[in-house]
Amino acid sequence: MADIHQQSRQAMQQQQQPQSHLVVKAATAATAGGSLLALSGLILTGTVIALTVATPLLVIFSPVIVPAVITVALILAGFLASGGFGVAAITAFSWLFRYVTGRHPPGADQLEQARMKLAGKAREIKDRAQEFGQQHITGSQQS
């Protein structure tokens, strides 16, 4: 309720502002907008001039620049990939070390649950195989 009262008071104050405040606000906005517009025009002009000067150089040196850029890109990609693989390996080894030493790293519970499920399924399959083997042996002795 207090928020609504405060908002209505602010709206009334804005309506009661003198005309000079509104003129100053408009002049400031127009000055800032005009300055930014002029700056963007200068940047556009500089970009067009730079492209005009650089285009012949790029055309002349493109047989050298293109393979050089491709080579540098491949080298950088290789370094980034090897660094990423190194970080992944260090992370995996540190997780494994914490797991083996019993420090209980994140995800160890899920790993234990999966191990218990696999062990249960392996026992179940072993029991079924023994039952099948006994049935097969008793079935061959009866014939």
Domain ranges in the chain? 31-61, 63-106, 107-142
By three-state DSSP, how is residue 42 classified? helix
Q: 106 near 112, Cβ under 8 Å?
A: no
Q: What pTM was computed for the model? A: 0.45
What is the per-residue pLDDT across 22-73, written as a single tens digit (0 to 9) for each?
888 889 999 999 999 999 999 999 999 999 999 998 889 889 988 999 999 9
pLDDT for 73-86, tens place per residue? 999 999 999 999 99
- Interior angle at CA 26, CA 21 and CA 29, nearest 5: 125
What confidence score (pLDDT) does residue 3 get?
62
Rounded to an integer, what distance in angstroms lies between the CA atom of residue 90 and that of residue 84?
Answer: 10
Distance CA 40, CA 78 (A): 39
**Quick one: what percent of the chain has pLDDT higher than 70?**
85
**Angle 48-54-60 (CA atoms, 0-180°, nearest 5)?**
145
Higher pLDDT, 33 or 1: 33
Query: For position 133, what pLDDT does the model report?
Result: 82
